[in-house]
Amino acid sequence: MISSKLPNVGTTIFTRMSALAHETGALNLSQGFPDFAAPQALCDAVGRHIAAGHNQYSPMAGLPALREQVAAKIARSYGVSVNVDTEVTITPGATEAIFCAIQAVINAGDEVIVFDPAYDSYEPSVELAGGRCVHVQLSANDFAIDWQKLEDALSPRTRMIILNTPHNPSGALISRAELDQLAQLIADRDIYLISDEVYEHLVYDGVPHVSVLAHEALYQRAFVVSSFGKTYHVTGWKTGYVVAPPALTAELRKVHQYVNFCGVTPLQWALADFMAAHPEHVEELPAFYQAKRDLFCDLLVPSRFTFSRVPGTYFQLVDYSAIRPDLNDVDMSLWLTREHGVATIPISVFYQQPVAEQRLVRLCFAKREETLRQAAEKLCGI
Ligand code: PMP
Ligand code: GLN
């Protein structure tokens, strides 16, 4: 008998729902990934670099040219300068960055605060480090931090808090005032942060993303994580990065060099080329995705689903209380996939203790107009 280190972990909901969509032929609005092509120039650059022989290990911290592009993007987006040698590390995906940051600073018995609904990779990573997640629920209506609950959850064992803004699955954003409040709350405590900002460039209605990178007090204790997958429409490239002050970066790299050592070399070259040639890509993303959000939401207005347009990410939550209040969200997702041909993600799986009365599923709108129209037509027919 294997004594499992993760006895409560099964196959992720993203894998299960994508498999069911494939099996049933449903439109897949479940797992978050675009169904449209990545920029041609980016794809061409991969082939060019493979042909040019860029096929061996890259430096452990990441290709210098790509780290420079990351620093340049950060300077343009947030007006702060980070040191490419001591603060920026390229990782095979944001998931690996999060895992390494947790392994680097969490010891046996430490507590890590996560806000529910929480992305699924946080808790197993904490448990493998010997730590324990303390779940603090975001407000049920607007998914904002409940400060009383957060304060109540702090203990002398709290070693880390994991933030996620823009937030998966709700799309909620953390404001500058909230970051200030957090900084005040933990000022005298020995607590690290992970700020999972993989959707940093997917923000709408003119509201900017507030990065922990631009919050001096919080940055001193933070690992700020992002993903090229989301920003450049290449989730399958599994390439991300983490920015942290030098002392934290040094500890993170001790783990990263043995988890993976380095990212995939030709992909890093291609991203560096593309970022240098197309800095406007990032600036155009909010309008690009806002148009998709608005098209999809406009098409869903006549449906019996209710929703408020998300401020960030490429996910739209919809309430199905008026349709099948008798079904919990897992059964609703299965029913929608099997009976109506649209695969969704139930949000209860992001909670330690799901909110009993919540009737919400998540729809990914990182899709071609045609896919969004077909999905909306099916959803309006229910
Ligand atoms: N954090 C969040 C909130 C995500 O939604 C994702 C997307 N999969 C990740 C981290 C992981 O990103 P990556 O695919 O680069 O590992
Ligand atoms: N982040 C993606 C989502 O929320 C899933 C990534 C994965 O499948 N692990 O849909």
Tokens of 236: 């399958």
Peptide bond into 64 cis (omega under 30): no
Mutate to test the pocket of ligand 2, among 11, 13, 14, 170 (most ligand atoms within 8 A of CB): 14
Kindly state if the Cβ of 30 falls inside 6 Å of ligand 2.
Answer: no
What's the confidence (pLDDT) of residue 285? 98
Query: Which residue's alpha carbon is at the smallest distance from atom 4 of ligand 2?
Result: 32
Query: Which residue's alpha carbon is at the smallest distance from atom 8 of ligand 2?
Result: 14
Enumerate the β-bridge partners of residue 226.
241
Q: What is the mean pLDDT of residues 128-137?
A: 98
Tokens of 252: 């993170």
Q: How far apart are CA 338 and CA 329, in angstroms?
A: 14
The strands making up 360-364's β-sheet, listed across from edge to edge, are 315-319, 360-364, 345-346
Amino acid letter, residue 34: P
Kindly state if the Cβ of 31 falls inside 6 Å of ligand 2.
Answer: yes
By the 8 A CB rule, do 93 and 239 touch?
yes
**Range list of H helices, the chain:** 13-24, 40-51, 64-78, 94-105, 122-128, 147-153, 176-186, 216-219, 228-231, 246-259, 265-277, 280-300, 329-340, 369-380
Counting ligands in written order, the one closest to the CA of 343 is 2
Mutate to test the pocket of ligand 2, among 13, 31, 96 (most ligand atoms within 8 A of CB): 31
**Closest Cα partner for 343 from 375, 301, 311?**
375
Query: Which residue's alpha carbon is at the smallest distance from atom 3 of ligand 2?
Result: 32
Query: Which residue's alpha carbon is at the smallest distance from atom 2 of ligand 2?
Result: 32
Kindly state if the Cβ of 137 falls inside 6 Å of ligand 2.
Answer: no
- pTM confidence score: 0.98
Q: What is the mean pLDDT of residues 206-219?
A: 98
Q: What is the mean pLDDT of residues 87-114?
A: 98
pLDDT tens digit sequence for 313-331: 999 999 999 999 999 999 9
Q: CA angle at residue 337 from 336 to 342, to 5 degrees?
A: 85
Token pair 């493998």 is found at 128
State in Å: Cα 14 to ligand 2 middle: 6
Counting ligands in written order, the one closest to the CA of 14 is 2
What's the confidence (pLDDT) of residue 246? 98
Tokens of 155: 């203990």
Listed range (4-8, 123-127, 172-176, 251-255) with the worst mean pLDDT: 4-8
Atom of ligand 1 nearest to the CA of 96: 16
What's the confidence (pLDDT) of residue 296? 98
CA 339 to chain centre: 29
What's the confidence (pLDDT) of residue 141? 87
Kindly state if the Cβ of 14 falls inside 6 Å of ligand 2.
Answer: yes
Q: How far apart are CA 193 and CA 245, in angstroms?
A: 12
**How many residues does the structure list for the chain?**
382
Q: What is the mean pLDDT of residues 60-81?
A: 98
Q: What is the 3-state secondary structure (H, E, C) of 341-363?
A: CEECEEHHHHCCCCCCCCCEEEE
What's the confidence (pLDDT) of residue 199? 98
SS3 content of the chain, % helix, strand, coil (to 5): 45, 15, 40
Kindly state if the Cβ of 227 falls inside 6 Å of ligand 1.
Answer: yes
What's the confidence (pLDDT) of residue 7? 93
Q: What is the mean pLDDT of residues 157-162?
A: 98
Query: Which residue's alpha carbon is at the smallest distance from atom 12 of ligand 1?
Result: 94
Amino acid letter, residue 93: G
Token pair 């919080």 is found at 218
Phi, psi of 162 (to 5 degrees): -105, 115
pLDDT band, very low/low/confident/very high, at 1 (cuts 50, 70, 90): confident
State how far the alpha carbon of 118 is from the alpha carbons of 16, 57, 115, 261, 367, in Å. Answer: 18, 34, 6, 28, 24
State in Å: Cα 144 to ligand 2 middle: 22
